[in-house]
Amino acid sequence: MPDRPALLFAANWKMHLGPGETREFAGKFRAEYAPAADRETWFFPPAVSLEAATAAFAGLPRTRIGAQDVHWEPKGAFTGATSVFLARAAGASATLIGHSERRHVFGETDEETGRKLRAALAGGLQPLLCVGETLEERERDSTAAVVNRQLNAGVRELDSAELDRVVIAYEPVWAIGTGRNATPADAAAVHAGIRRALMGLGASASRILYGGSVNATNVAALVAEPEIDGVLVGGASLDPEGWAGICSVKRER
């Protein structure tokens, strides 16, 4: 069996942790976490904390700081939005694209998600594209159809090299912040379908994360699945010591 890619632990802080709190978090996290060659840590702080996170995590091996969202236009009259250029200027090297809250709270469309992803690639940010179904869609047995629609809207115009730069996060909406999560086997089955779809489009080295009520209790079982290359975590990533423990979990080979 070929070596699996490095595990990726991505922290989405959502609307939490200002600059001062970010610096405090980083100090506590760095005191507890020992970087290793078989794992990466990515942090997605609020826009106001991008510069603080970039400075606070500077020098930590295999670590990226990312924006939680970007606009597809390089500049203009878009109050409240952040361009790829501005995110990079603040220290970001990655960005979330199409998080479920952007889709379901802010009404972001599949078309807009695709435009954001292409702008991120063009501007030098590593995109992490989020896909996933609602509870109603899951109960209608529409998981595969919904995930494939969202995936295709994001990556259909990309060539093979660009496809390999995109990280995917499968985050079932019904499991985010609810305490419910897909079983490792269920998540792995969806991941396998995503991987087949990406390979059909020309990808060769896709990384696919799971997100949805991930915590210290279930993370080891999730990353033990061969199809799961890491996790995208919200609430459990806000505690620095707890997050350091999650990021240090070992997986079976």
202 phi and psi angles, rounded to 5 deg? 115, 0
Q: Tell me, what's the pLDDT at 196? A: 95
% of the chain with per-residue pLDDT over 90 = 88
- pLDDT of 128 > 60? The answer is yes
| Residue 16 among the catalytic residues | no
Residue 241 is among the residues annotated as catalytic for this protein: no
Average pLDDT rounded to a whole number, residues 162-173: 95
Out of 99, 101, 108, 191, pick the active-site residue.
99
What is residue 170's three-state secondary structure? Answer: strand
Q: What is the mean pLDDT of residues 104-132?
A: 97
Widest distance between CA atoms in the chain:
51
pLDDT at residue 157, rounded to an integer: 87
Assign 253 a pLDDT band (cuts: 50, 70, 90).
low
pLDDT band at residue 3 using 50, 70 and 90 as cut-offs: low
β-strand partners of 96: 128
Cβ(153)–Cβ(165) under 8 Å?
Answer: no
- When comparing pLDDT for 2 and 133, which is higher? 133
98 close to 108: Cβ distance less than 8 angstroms: yes
Over 90: is that where the pLDDT of 177 sits?
no
Q: Is the pLDDT of residue 2 over 90?
A: no
CA–CA dist 150, 147 (Å, integer): 5
Q: Is the pLDDT of residue 166 over 70?
A: yes
Asked if pLDDT for residue 41 goes beyond 80, the answer is: yes
Compute the average pLDDT of residues 81-105.
97
All domains in the chain, ordered by first residue: 7-247 (3.20.20.70)
Could you say which of 112, 171, 225, 227 is catalytic? 171
- Whole-number pLDDT of residue 140: 93
Residue 108 CB-half CA count within 13 A:
25
- Of residues 179 and 26, the one with the higher pLDDT is 26
What pLDDT digit, counting tens, does each position of 47-92 carry?
Answer: 999 999 999 999 999 999 999 999 999 999 999 999 999 999 999 9
**Average pLDDT across the chain, whole number:** 94
Quote the pLDDT of residue 176.
75
User: Given this model, what pLDDT does residue 203 score?
Assistant: 93
Judge whether residue 1 has pLDDT over 50: no
Q: Give the pLDDT band of residue 175 (cuts 50, 70, 90).
A: confident
